[in-house]
Amino acid sequence: MERDKSALKQKRNKELKKGLAVFVFLLPGLLLFVSILIAPILVSLYKSLYDWNGFTDGTFIGLANYKELFTNGSIKFMISLKNSLILALFSVFIQLPLALLLALILGRKPKGERFYLTVFFMPVLISTVVIGQLWLKIYNPDYGILNRFLEAIHLGSLKHIWVGDPKTALGSIVVPTIWQYVGYHMLLMYAGVKGVSPDLREAAMIDGATKWQTDRFIVIPIIKPIIRVSVIFAVTGSLKTYDLVRILTDGGPYQTTEVPSTLLEYMLFLRNRYGMGSTISVMLIALCFAFALLISAAFKEKDN
């Protein structure tokens, strides 16, 4: 009896030491996670309840900033949110299908597979500032390659001030966004495609399935978790987009390309309304979490 108690005590002590060792090893990562992600969110949430200019102590106003955002400031915020959602729609329904198509083609081991992977992924490695400047040169109404090309094929009537026209400014942002990140999503899906067992492909081919039927009914269902992750990244990335908009249009002309991040910058640094800027950042975080949960739930419904 005493031996059993002693053995049980030793087992408990061993488990306690093991749990303590795991906690010690996880502690640096946990502290980093809390300090970089959780703490700034909590600070933003706290500051959103204040009328604060960034220098004084600020005045507690409760939910007044949120009320203003959806009443007096609703037009600007709703326009910025609509533009982000438009970018998200193009990312999900154009960028991701294109990335999936490239991943499926490269997953068949064509000649020059590594070369094409490198070429398609290259824009992801380039700084967004560089990409913005590159596309500004492409869109330039005087010497830009796009207008020059239209002129060369005798379509000079279509020449345009692409980023300066409210009708085409947002589309001028959509194109480089798709071009820059299609390789990123392609690589994620490509990794999933390469992970599909060759035995499944061979079995499908023996049963008379074509390559496209194999991809549709075997490969795509298997890599659905990766597609879900790509959809979440595409939507949340569109909601957080800033750099390309800032470089190409700076939210103009006439706020037709304003996004929440540029509106946040305007409130913070031009209006010195740090409380309202914090409110917009909190709303962005909430929207990203909400869309991530909705997309996850939608994929679970499809699986069921």
pLDDT grade for 109, boundaries at 50, 70 and 90: confident
Ranges of each domain in the chain: 2-47, 68-303
Q: What's the whole-number mean pLDDT along residues 150-171?
A: 88
- Average pLDDT over every residue of 286-300: 91
Task: Give the pLDDT band (50/70/90) at residue 36.
Answer: confident
Which residue did the predictor score with more confidence, 89 or 303?
89
Instruction: Evaluate if residue 5 carries a pLDDT over 80.
Output: no
- DSSP strands (E only) in 67-154: none
Report the pLDDT value the prediction gives residue 286, as an integer from 0 to 100.
92
**CATH for 68-303, options being 3.40.50.970, 2.60.40.3080, 3.40.50.10540, 1.10.3720.10:** 1.10.3720.10
Q: Is the pLDDT of residue 301 over 70?
A: no
pLDDT 10s digits, 215-271: 888 899 999 999 999 999 999 999 999 999 999 998 888 888 999 999 988 888 888
Residue 55 pLDDT > 90: no
Give the residue-averaged pLDDT of 127-139.
Answer: 92
pLDDT digits (tens, 9 = 90+) for 180-208: 999 999 999 999 999 888 888 888 888 88
pLDDT tier at 4, thresholds 50, 70, 90: low
